[in-house]
Structure 1
Amino acid sequence: RRKLRRGTTSCWECKRRKTKCHFEQGNPAVCESCQRRGCKCVLQDVDEKTSTGQRARNRNLGAQMNYLETVVDQLVHRPARSSTQGANCETGSEETAAAHEKENSAARTAPRQQNTGRHPSEPFNSRRRLLPKLDKAPAKEPRTPANDNPRIANQPLQPLASQKYSKQLHAQPIDLARSLFQLAICLQQSDRFPETSKLWLNHSNRDVADQYFEAATRYVTSQDSIVVSYEGIETLMLEGLYHVSCGRLQLAWVVFRRALGIAHLVGLHIPQRRRQGKQQSSANGPSSMCLATLWFRLVFMDRYLSLVLDLPMSVLDDSFMDDFVTQAPFEKLERAQAKLTSRIIFRNQQLRLGQRGGDPVYDHYKETKDIDYLLTQATRALPLEWWVFPPTQDAQSIDELRDMIAKIVHQLHHYNFVLLLHIPYILPGPEGRFNNSMQDYSNSKFAAVAAARELLGRSIVPVGPNRVSFSTRGIVLKVVLSALTLLVVHLDSHRLGRENPLGHQRPGDLATAERAIQSLETMGQKFDDKLCHSAARALKRLSALEATAA
């Protein structure tokens, strides 16, 4: 072996890449380059061939993946439990905890093995680097499926020793990617809640979520041969939802387009094929996915993102309306919204063409009123009490809280849909912008203002236990758009003078907009969110202009 020169501190990977090797002050084990690339960092004074044996690494990675999938089960598939049952089951089995501790200890203290002529698997090591090390939680109060508590903050999450929740160490890559995406979404959306801070991770929830997401995308969903299946489509949808939650709508649109392409390859666009039955899901065991519902969700997200981004939609077929699927009332409303979304996208295209001398026969505002009427008719399928904002602070169980949050999300989407329908008409355009410049668009202004009020009333909720906050970028954008609508409409209404029909609503609307601005400032300061900072500054300037015009 070649003698090492005195003073050499770089690792083998940086030497091969001929890059500068620099170690952070708080992390002397891995250099910055290897940490960024997810590579194994071994100093040159250590022979790579004498590194930890492959078997010990397999055990450690298997234990980590088992822990990750256990956390997914606890966060996603957690059953509701009463306080009495939780109190009766607080004392777990010491034998179970001891057995699990012994298993983890064996995985951690596996003896080093000499590699006889074979180099370690670098792809395996780089994948393992992407998964952060998990701190071992105290085992003095073991948790089992029987003593699962409804509140995440009550006890730190610990690995379950029950065989029911134990996963195969050699699971399919698509199943592992799905679990990582589910966990990443949970961590990303719970990053701003203090009760989820005791997950026994070395980094913040957001950083860990990004690492899990990167591992799943780099090694699984980026491989076309792995995702060409029903399970692959579902996993790609989870990837797209993570992008939506982070505010990367363009990337989400690309991912859903890719999922739609795969859906066409496997025949989901054919009504007879997707209505034949259900495709069993290998990850969730007894649960299954409905192919008709899977196709509808793909079309729904593609059309919604195309509407928001002002892009053409991919699927023009509305055959999903005829799929025989057991539907709740709000699901019927969703299908009606998906069908009407295609008409809004076509109307927006005609509006752009009209500004450049497009079809003079097309009446865009008549189409808008027709869409609004059909949407109003679709909402009548829901009972009146469904539209009441649910008191999330009074939720008694996880199941009840989940149902309340689902209702709020559906309400937010509906009012955002109404706002997107009428928002082109909140300001009078220049002469000739629309075919009929003398058309009265007051109905659209009133509808947009009403939708903005409902959106802000459901979005601006204090952050805390059993509260819904705009922790995802999608809701932040809804808040900004709603506050902008209120301020712009009232600014434009001042030109009517004494005949301003919104004069009595102005104080309440401005107070709501000011509350939204304060919430954006708070979120920006607390979480160093640049979008919230810039949006709050822009809305403040617009509010000052409105006050001057008044």
Structure 2
Amino acid sequence: MRSHPVLIARKLLLLSNLVQGALSDDGIHRSQREHLSKVMAHAMDTATRLVTSNDELTASVEGVECIMIEAITQNYAGNLHRAWLTVRRAVAVAQMLGLHRGNAKRASIKVVDPKTRESLDPDQLCCRIVEMDRYLSLTLGLPQSSLQTVGLSAEVIAKCHPLDRIARLQCVIGDRILARKVGEPRDDTEKRVREIDDLFKEVTELMPSDWWLIRDFDNKDGGDPDPMHEVVRNMYQLSHFYLVIRLHLPYVLRSSGDDRCEESKATAVHAAREIMSRYIAFRKWKRGPYYCRGVDCLAFVALMVLCLAHIDSQNQSMIRHKALFDHSRPSDRALMERTVKVLGERSDDALATKLSSIIQYLLDAEAASANGTGYNTSASETDDGMATEFDGQFMDAEKAVLQLHLPYFGTISLQRRLASDIPLAEEMLSTQVADQTQSSLTEWDNRWSFLDSSNDAGALDDWTLQSINEGLFGGLLGGLGDVDFDPGLPVDI
């Protein structure tokens, strides 16, 4: 009896995924690494080219599984935009099969192999799809899918195992953050933030307090002998704190003096520290380029938030938490520098290396800010073709102007100024950047002006870098309502 193509494809995709994991082992010899890379690429290409891209062959539970394995592999490779596109195909097939209707329709869901039905849990499978879709949508600043499932209802979640409840509640939280509307009334915004904060408290109470500690992955503290249990826990902790950042991100660069704003700012900064601490511990244990790649992006966002918060605190003499920032700066600075070093040490990982170099520029600006230097910001659509990917550089020997190039958006410039310097209206930009920035020069309190995306498409890798950046800065700028100022991740991060 001949096997169905989708069953063969599932084996090939699992092989590719397992080989990808093996390539994260530092002990593999170079010649073996090259051979395994070819095996991984060939298995993936064969399965995707002949099966998962064929809608007629994937219209089954096994087909959905194949597409999701492909998405996970793309995610681990750092191709987050491709992973997002792949998950959307899984969403379409899942909806067509009726997976979102839950276990009540289990008997009518199409399978290729009868054995699949024996272990099929539509609620669980659908939740995993939603989980990854919302993680990628939040990370990339893209809209989530319309896929809903009864598995995320309060009644079903209440009956789940605590760890599964955490995963599903994170899906619910992600949905509510993504559903936030720009320009909604202030009362609605504050109500939404309070409700989501209550969900965060519910999540933290599901596990004992020591579950939230940062554990030694080498098991030197006598913990669980299986490091994979620690990996799973670490991933859920990282996703928890990342969601906290995304909820409170729009308040990070606001200076309203409002209690809600100051509390959110402090909460986002605390979550950023928690993410970086866990990231450093995790990457010390496993440095491989294909192992839980999403954590690099989460660490990047956390580092950006903490660094920008410190720069901003130096420009707000009346900020309520300025003293706390001053006292925490030495340890925060060490934490940020260590995170950049960990990213930079991954020389075989182009994305991690790129992210670390960009952050280093911002760290230099933060150091100058701590020594009494202020920064004015400006933005321009002109990039002269330079911004094909996320990049940054100082524009003069004195490091007075920092330019961050954002793909398909343009350029954001931070111009150094002394706090006691001449009024902003009389300041002059350097000749090198004047044509790009002077027409849109704004005061610091209008901070981080952003530009509309152009119609440029570009390569998928560029899309990923662009979208990570859009998700971060879009959150920093995004809708706080009609006020004086403009707020589950899967285990397979």
TM-score range, shorter chain: 0.5 to 0.7
Following TM superposition, by how much is the alpha carbon of 1:468 offset from its aligned partner in structure 2, in angstroms?
6.5
The higher relative CO (CA closer than 8 Å, separation ≥ 6) is in 2
Equivalence for 1:389 = 214
1:419 maps to 2:245: yes
Q: Bigger shift: 259-268 or 529-538?
A: 529-538
- 66, 78, 81: which one aligns with 1:235: 66
Q: Give the counterpart letter for 1:190 in structure 2.
A: A
Higher strand share: 2
- TM-score when scaled to structure 2? 0.66
1:495 maps to 2:315: yes
Equivalence for 1:180 = 12
Taking the TM superposition and a 5 Å limit, the aligned residue runs for 1:290-305 are 290-305=121-136
**Tell me, what secondary structure is at the counterpart of 2:206?**
coil
Output the CA distance in 1 between the equivalents of 2:217 and 2:63.
Answer: 34
| Residues 366-398 of structure 1, C-alpha deviations (whole Å, 9 max, x = no match) | 322321122112221111121122322128999
1:314 maps to 2:145: yes
Following TM superposition, by how much is the alpha carbon of 1:334 offset from its aligned partner in structure 2, in angstroms?
1.4
- 538, 543, 547: which one aligns with 2:358: 538
Change (3 A) 1:469 1:420: farther
Q: Give the counterpart letter for 2:313 in structure 1.
A: S
| Residues 171-230 of structure 1, C-alpha deviations (whole Å, 9 max, x = no match) | 3322222222222222223323223449x9582434432222111101111111111001
Taking the TM superposition and a 5 Å limit, the aligned residue runs for 1:491-530 are 491-497=311-317, 499-523=322-346, 525=347, 527=348, 529-530=349-350
Change (3 A) 1:272 1:461: closer
1:482 maps to 2:307: no
Following TM superposition, by how much is the alpha carbon of 1:493 offset from its aligned partner in structure 2, in angstroms?
1.2
Is the 2:61–2:111 contact (alpha carbons within 8 Å) kept by the matching residues of 1?
Answer: no
Change (3 A) 1:462 1:439: closer
- 164, 172, 183: which one aligns with 1:331: 164
Output the CA distance in 2 between the equivalents of 1:404 and 1:277.
Answer: 38
Equivalence for 1:369 = 194
Output the CA distance in 1 between the equivalents of 2:144 and 2:242.
Answer: 19
Following TM superposition, by how much is the alpha carbon of 1:275 offset from its aligned partner in structure 2, in angstroms?
5.8
Q: Superposition RMSD on alpha carbons, in Å?
A: 3.3
Is the 2:219–2:225 contact (alpha carbons within 8 Å) kept by the matching residues of 1?
Answer: no
Change (3 A) 1:205 1:455: farther
**Tell me, what secondary structure is at the counterpart of 2:120?**
strand
Is the 2:26–2:288 contact (alpha carbons within 8 Å) kept by the matching residues of 1?
Answer: no
**Tell me, what secondary structure is at the counterpart of 1:501?**
helix
Is the 2:101–2:149 contact (alpha carbons within 8 Å) kept by the matching residues of 1?
Answer: no
Equivalence for 1:249 = 80
Is the 2:340–2:360 contact (alpha carbons within 8 Å) kept by the matching residues of 1?
Answer: yes
Equivalence for 2:55 = 224
Gaps of 5+ in 1: 1-167, 430-435
Following TM superposition, by how much is the alpha carbon of 1:283 offset from its aligned partner in structure 2, in angstroms?
10
Is the 1:280–1:289 contact (alpha carbons within 8 Å) kept by the matching residues of 2?
Answer: no
1:443 maps to 2:275: no
Equivalence for 1:473 = 293
**Tell me, what secondary structure is at the counterpart of 2:34?**
coil
Output the CA distance in 2 between the equivalents of 1:518 and 1:226.
Answer: 46
Equivalence for 1:267 = 98
Following TM superposition, by how much is the alpha carbon of 1:509 offset from its aligned partner in structure 2, in angstroms?
0.8
**How many pairs are equivalent?**
363
Change (3 A) 1:540 1:295: same
Identity of aligned residues (%): 29
Output the CA distance in 2 between the equivalents of 1:297 and 1:283.
Answer: 22
Following TM superposition, by how much is the alpha carbon of 1:287 offset from its aligned partner in structure 2, in angstroms?
7.2
| Residues 281-301 of structure 1, C-alpha deviations (whole Å, 9 max, x = no match) | 849889723111011111222
Output the CA distance in 1 between the equivalents of 2:353 and 2:296.
Answer: 12
Equivalence for 1:58 = none
Is the 1:188–1:209 contact (alpha carbons within 8 Å) kept by the matching residues of 2?
Answer: yes
Change (3 A) 1:286 1:377: closer
Taking the TM superposition and a 5 Å limit, the aligned residue runs for 1:6-25 are none
**Tell me, what secondary structure is at the counterpart of 2:57?**
helix
| Residues 387-440 of structure 1, C-alpha deviations (whole Å, 9 max, x = no match) | 1223221289997122121111111111111122211211128xxxxxx89675
Q: Bigger shift: 509-518 or 381-390?
A: 381-390
Following TM superposition, by how much is the alpha carbon of 1:231 offset from its aligned partner in structure 2, in angstroms?
0.9
Output the CA distance in 2 between the equivalents of 1:405 and 1:542.
Answer: 30
Is the 1:274–1:292 contact (alpha carbons within 8 Å) kept by the matching residues of 2?
Answer: no
Taking the TM superposition and a 5 Å limit, the aligned residue runs for 1:38-437 are 170-197=2-29, 203-271=34-102, 273-274=104-105, 282=113, 288-315=119-146, 317=148, 319-322=150-153, 324=156, 327-347=160-180, 350-351=181-182, 354=183, 359-360=184-185, 363-394=188-219, 400-428=226-254
- TM-score when scaled to structure 1? 0.60
Output the CA distance in 2 between the equivalents of 1:548 and 1:491.
Answer: 9
| Residues 70-106 of structure 1, C-alpha deviations (whole Å, 9 max, x = no match) | xxxxxxxxxxxxxxxxxxxxxxxxxxxxxxxxxxxxx
**Tell me, what secondary structure is at the counterpart of 1:502?**
helix
Q: Give the counterpart letter for 1:425 in structure 2.
A: Y
Change (3 A) 1:317 1:536: closer
Is the 1:267–1:273 contact (alpha carbons within 8 Å) kept by the matching residues of 2?
Answer: no
Change (3 A) 1:316 1:531: closer
**Tell me, what secondary structure is at the counterpart of 2:142?**
coil
Q: Give the counterpart letter for 1:488 in structure 2.
A: L
Q: Give the counterpart letter for 2:121 in structure 1.
A: C
Following TM superposition, by how much is the alpha carbon of 1:477 offset from its aligned partner in structure 2, in angstroms?
0.7
Change (3 A) 1:202 1:385: closer
The structure that has the greater radius of gyration is 1
Change (3 A) 1:400 1:274: farther
**Tell me, what secondary structure is at the counterpart of 2:100?**
coil
Q: Give the counterpart letter for 2:323 in structure 1.
A: N
Output the CA distance in 1 between the equivalents of 2:231 and 2:282.
Answer: 14
Equivalence for 2:464 = none
Q: Give the counterpart letter for 2:338 in structure 1.
A: R
Change (3 A) 1:270 1:289: closer
Equivalence for 1:85 = none
